[in-house]
Homo-oligomer: A and B are copies of this chain.
Amino acid sequence: MLKAAIVGATGYTGWELVSILLCHPKVRPFYLTSDSFAGRSFAEIYPQFRGRCELILEKLDEEKAGACDIIFAALPHGTSLEVVPGLLATGKKVVDLSGDFRLKDAALYPLWYGYEHKHPALLAESVYGLPEQNRAAVSKARLVANPGCYPTSVQLPLIPLLQAGLVETEDIIIDAKSGVSGAGRTPKQPYHFPECAENFKAYKVTGHQHTPEIEQGLSEAAGRQVTLLFTPHLVPMIRGILSTMYLRLKPGVKVEDITALYRKVYADEPFIRLLPEPYLPETKDVSGTNFCDLAFRVDGRTGRLIVVSAIDNLVKGAAGQAVQNMNIMLDLPETAGLM
């Protein structure tokens, strides 16, 4: 068995990584770090793992991480930036689940993340880990920047449309909705059960840090700058993201063209499911899985294309995709541990 280090194992993405790797046929969680809970067992923090993962959490020791075959960094934005260079120095491959190495343009970090990026060379080197697009690059990468949850749910359905030139690059509107685990494990007022249950709201309207990440992916696909509107919302459920995307078809493009394109691009992708009419994605259908479900409709009245996608924010939107990347980086079957 290969050994995995998870740096920052006690957040929800670290927890989901452990959960997935415990069922992986070739890799096992071996070294788990936590600043806050060092010295305690992982199962003490997450009692569902009693008898299944009794590893003791430790403060990060780069040497120990480097003794593993793969290193996952599941740290908050800003912290990863500090830690990842040291992890790479061990000579082992790193999958980083934060946003710190996703944006190629370092100038975007002060605007959207509120800090100056100190490692532009790593930004240049890092591979954006959307396997359905970047499989080859991921397989050779030393550092994979694992995509954000919202960006995954948006790019998987939209990149093919933009690459094929079936839609206009103007006027793209993305209305996305996420379960509460997307806000992390630290208790805060808006996620306190009595505030959050029986409530629905938009947040960070016009200002969410996943906006430039989505634009980067779509711009590359379109071959020109895409500027779009992205509005996230909070749903009173634990897991899941549903994104509703509004686009304009290029003149002459028909329903059949889109169907044909998706079939061509995604027929052999194990984790992408195009739903036939009359079905529409629902978050419960992808909960606990690495699937991205998608469907689309063309509105005859306005000529608009509506695309809907659903993922589990913690799986295809984080830990599952990280394991998918790991499988590619370690030359394992891409679906290992994910089906």
Contacts and interface: CB of A to CB of B under 8 A. Distances in A.
Interface stretch (A76-84, A92-100, A225-233): A225-233
Nearest to A235: B200
Interface stretch (A134-142, A143-151, A298-306, A317-325): A298-306
Interface in A221-243: 227-229, 231, 233, 235-240, 242
Contact of A201 (B283, B297, B302): B283
A244 B199 contact: no
B195 A284 contact: yes
A99 B228 CA distance: 35
A236 B193 contact: yes
Contacts of A282: 47, 199-201
A180 interface: yes
B50 A273 contact: yes
A119 interface: no
A242 B173 CA distance: 17
Interface of A: 12, 23, 47-48, 50-52, 171, 173, 175, 177, 179-181, 185-189, 191-203, 205-206, 227-229, 231, 233, 235-240, 242, 244, 246, 273, 275, 279-289, 291, 293, 297-302, 304, 306, 308, 310, 339
